[in-house]
Chains A and B, each alone.
Chain A
Amino acid sequence: MSADLRDRLFAALGFLVRWTVYASLLLPAAIVVAASLTPGDILRFPPPGISLRWYRAVWESDLFMNSLGLSFRLAALATLVSLVLGFAAAYAVDRYRFRGLGLVRSFLLSPLLVPTVVLGLGLMQFLVWIGLGQTFLGLLAGHLVITLPYVVRTLSASMVLFDRNLEQAAMSLRAPPLTVLRTITLPLLFPGIISAMVFAFVTSFGNVTLSVFLNYDGEVTLPVQVLSYVEQNYDPLVAAVSSVVILVTVLAIFIADRISGAKSVI
């Protein structure tokens, strides 16, 4: 019977660990949102009351609104460009068998395993050399490197599940290749495409470790602005800004979940 007891203890321990993990994953974001609703001047938890005054302060802060605008523009552009490049690459990797295929696939995913401090220094130095230092284009190039692997991975996963007989059927009905792509391939891959876009968007929107090396003309992305603000100040304003970031992220993930199921995001 001691084995039975041990089994039960083991199960109870698992249960405890699981719910501690879920709670701790949720905690930081929940705390930030709750703290941002304070009517007072001091950042504290639990807040003494509820007010939206700090959101108003964010709206009126040029510092944060400019950064927010830059982050949105950057993330949107990085998403579109990496989607186009990543779709083409994932399609080629999925459809063609050729020598070096495995190598190409690993290469496309390799940015995930390069420490961003190293990539950051390299890009910063390289961009200065080719005259793109402190430019939007340089910042975009850096973000493309980190969003591309997510797009390739997500799209590859959904292309594997794709039933190619449907394309064959369309072709046997004499549909030209572009029509097949437009009316069969793309619609069927739509959920995967949405997931890839969401993941690319939130990756770029939230990135701080690479962006911090690639400031442009004194303008910085929102996460970098939050980082440099937090190093100097500690007030509810930054909690409100962070809540905006949380809101954007949660919305994006929910959209992906509605359209294609959360699992496909990864």
Chain B
Amino acid sequence: MSAVPIDVESRPGARLLLLLPALALLLLFLVVPMFSVFRTSFFPGTSSMGATGFTLSQYARFFSSTLYNSVLLETVAYGIIVSVGCIVLGFPVGYSLARMPPAKRRLRMILIIVPLTLSLVVVVFGWMVLLGRQGLLNNLLLALGLIEAPRQLLFNRAAVLVVLIQQFLPFMILSIMNVVLQIDPVLEHASTSLRATRLTTFRKVVVPLAAPGIVSGFTLVFVMTVSAFVTPRLIGGARTQMLGGLIFDEVLTTMNWPFGAAMSFILLAVGLGVLALVNMLVVRRITRGLHVR
């Protein structure tokens, strides 16, 4: 009744009250579990139940095995190839979406958001049907007379790469679109009116300005690729191993949590290391490009 307008911004307690539930949730179910994995990775033996002690033996076991080392290397290679593939294929799409009138963009956005939100396992299954012996691709190749009998197109590295790129493309497209939306088209017109070719404008104007979006897309895709385990498992079969798959097996099949934990932190550390390196290199190149001309 005698309600005096209350300025919400003058109540310090309210802020804490509003933030507390979300922060508590993440603290309890994200931060604490991550710390517990970190601690577990230093346990000796093969079980974390009732384990005590502190040793680097899990890490030593990983790095002294050629198998694990080559899987780690291969995983990082997958991460880089998939991220670069996503940039190459995603840039034209993200750029054209950003330069489109919103009404025209609408349907295309749905085309990108549905695969993004669709369950990973369904997408992977779709590729299994597509590449299977009775699948579309085999039938197409047979009809065109390019092959004589159905071939096994699954269970090889190329198939894993194609499927991973398709899965993560929407993230890259949206990341690039969002940054291009903020670039004033006037800059490109200016470049063109100065008689720069499309290619020059693209190289000297668009790419440097879109760099933040490219880098954030790269980061996201790289992290998702190196930790992938569903796709390598179903599409790659036993012959293509990625670190995510090894961790999965170690945790759910072998139940060796200390070793699984150590591999998790190696994955995190190597992933962050590669990202830091790439960010450094890209940022340096872009800034140089901007200063020269």
A: residues with CB less than 8 A from B are 3, 6-7, 10-11, 14, 17-18, 20-22, 24-32, 35, 42-46, 84-86, 88-89, 91-93, 95-96, 98, 104, 107-108, 110-126, 129, 141-142, 144-145, 148, 152, 171-172, 174-177, 199, 202-203, 205-209, 212-213, 222-224, 226-227, 230-231, 234, 238-239, 242, 245-246, 249-250, 252-254, 257, 261-263, 265-266
CB distance from B12 to the nearest CB of A (A): 8
CB distance from B163 to the nearest CB of A (A): 8
CB <8 Å contact, A21 and B89: yes
Q: Cα distance A172–B270 when bound, in Å? A: 56
- The B contact surface, by secondary structure, is helix
Q: Which of B3-11, B55-63, B276-284 makes up part of the contact surface?
A: B3-11
Q: Cα distance A175–B4 when bound, in Å? A: 9
CB <8 Å contact, B40 and A107: no
Q: Cα distance A205–B121 when bound, in Å? A: 12
Jot down 7 A-B pairs with beta carbons below 8 A, ordered by A.
Answer: A6-B199, A14-B92, A117-B247, A118-B227, A122-B37, A223-B120, A249-B118
Q: Does any Cβ of A come within 8 Å of B42's Cβ?
A: no
CB <8 Å contact, A230 and B128: yes
Q: Which interface residue of A30, A115, A205 has the most chain B CB atoms within 10 A?
A: A115
Q: Does any Cβ of A come within 8 Å of B213's Cβ?
A: no
Q: Cα distance A180–B173 when bound, in Å? A: 38
What residues of chain B lie closer than 8 Å to A148, measured between beta carbons? 22, 25-26
CB <8 Å contact, A176 and B121: no
Known: A22-B108, A25-B166. A230 touches B34 (CB 8 A): no
Our pick among B5, B18, B219 for the contact of A92 (Cβ within 8 Å) is B18
Which residues of chain B in 90-148 are interfacial with respect to chain A, using CB atoms and an 8 Å cutoff? Answer: 90, 92-93, 96, 102, 105-106, 108-130, 132, 134-136, 139
- The A contact surface, by secondary structure, is helix
Q: Cα distance A43–B229 when bound, in Å? A: 24
CB distance from B189 to the nearest CB of A (A): 15
CB <8 Å contact, A35 and B120: no
Our pick among B109, B132, B139 for the contact of A43 (Cβ within 8 Å) is B132
CB distance from A15 to the nearest CB of B (A): 8
Our pick among A35, A86, A112, A231 for the contact of B129 (Cβ within 8 Å) is A35
CB <8 Å contact, A43 and B129: yes
What residues of chain B lie closer than 8 Å to A96, measured between beta carbons? 9, 15
CB <8 Å contact, B122 and A242: yes
B: residues with CB less than 8 A from A are 3, 5-6, 8-9, 14-15, 17-19, 21-23, 25-26, 28-30, 32-34, 36-37, 40, 48, 88-90, 92-93, 96, 102, 105-106, 108-130, 132, 134-136, 139, 166, 169-170, 173-174, 197-199, 202, 219-220, 223-224, 226-227, 229-230, 233-234, 244, 247-248, 251-252, 257, 260-261, 264-265, 267-268, 271
Output the nearest chain A residue to B112 by Cβ-Cβ distance.
A25
What residues of chain B lie closer than 8 Å to A252, measured between beta carbons? 117
Q: Cα distance A27–B14 when bound, in Å? A: 49
Output the nearest chain B residue to A89 by Cβ-Cβ distance.
B22
CB <8 Å contact, A231 and B234: yes
CB distance from A255 to the nearest CB of B (A): 12
CB <8 Å contact, A253 and B114: yes
Q: Cα distance A132–B148 when bound, in Å? A: 56
Q: Which interface residue of B26, B28, B108 has the most chain A CB atoms within 10 A?
A: B26
Q: Cα distance A231–B81 when bound, in Å? A: 27
Q: Cα distance A234–B226 when bound, in Å? A: 27
3 smallest beta-carbon distances between A and B, as pairs: A28-B126, A122-B33, A115-B227
CB <8 Å contact, B34 and A118: yes
Apart from the given pairs A209-B229, A227-B234, A239-B129, 10 other A-B contacts in the complex at a CB distance below 8 Å: A7-B197, A88-B19, A114-B34, A118-B37, A118-B264, A125-B33, A202-B118, A227-B121, A227-B230, A249-B119
What residues of chain A lie closer than 8 Å to B115, measured between beta carbons? 25-26, 28-29
CB <8 Å contact, B169 and A21: yes
What residues of chain A lie closer than 8 Å to B18, measured between beta carbons? 88-89, 91-92
